[in-house]
């Protein structure tokens, strides 16, 4: 009996998400068919020029835009940003510093502080429980 190894494939949208690029901005040959795990690994290891250009200049998908602006994806939506943005547009927003962006950055900073506080609390509880077991 011979074993057959199935090639894992994914939809182009999934591959674009893993690569951190905006699918509609990718070449049509990338968008048209499934992407194998080997192809994805090759793109990550040695990105072609189109991928390097997209990562540098955009347009970027919302998760990347949010990260570059230091806000959440929900914060982008609250600020009225629903489309992919180029690096230039992101830089312009950073320079303009609209009120919604400053508010969302402050909210994100508060969330990070609270997450850190909870992690410290949980670590202290775990340490206390471990000492109690000894």
Is residue 108 within 8 Å of residue 70, measured between CB atoms? yes
Q: In this predicted structure, what is the pLDDT of residue 131? A: 86
What string of pLDDT tens digits covers the 134 residues of the chain? 444 556 788 999 999 999 999 999 999 999 998 999 999 999 999 999 999 999 999 999 999 999 999 999 999 999 999 999 999 999 999 999 999 999 999 999 999 999 999 999 999 999 988 888 87
Q: In this predicted structure, what is the pLDDT of residue 66? A: 94
Give CA–CA dist 106/16, Å, rounded.
30
Q: In this predicted structure, what is the pLDDT of residue 133? A: 80
Is residue 62 within 8 Å of residue 89, measured between CB atoms? no
Is residue 62 within 8 Å of residue 84, measured between CB atoms? yes
Is residue 104 within 8 Å of residue 80, measured between CB atoms? no
Is residue 90 within 8 Å of residue 79, measured between CB atoms? no
Tokens of 84: 């992919």
Is residue 14 within 8 Å of residue 23, measured between CB atoms? no
């Amino acid at each position: 009996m011979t074993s057959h190894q199935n090639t894992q494939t994914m939809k182009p949208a999934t591959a674009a998400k893993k690569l951190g690029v905006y699918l509609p901005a990718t070449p049509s040959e990338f968008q048209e068919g499934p992407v194998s795990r080997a192809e994805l690994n090759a793109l990550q290891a040695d990105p072609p020029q189109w991928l390097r250009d997209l990562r540098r200049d955009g347009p970027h998908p919302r998760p990347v835009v949010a990260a570059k602006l230091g806000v959440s994806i929900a914060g982008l939506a609250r600020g009225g940003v629903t489309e992919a943005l180029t690096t230039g547009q992101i830089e312009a927003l950073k320079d303009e510093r609209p009120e919604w962006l400053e508010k969302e950055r402050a909210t994100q900073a508060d969330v990070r502080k609270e997450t850190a506080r909870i992690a410290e609390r949980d670590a202290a509880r775990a340490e206390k429980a471990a000492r109690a077991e000894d």
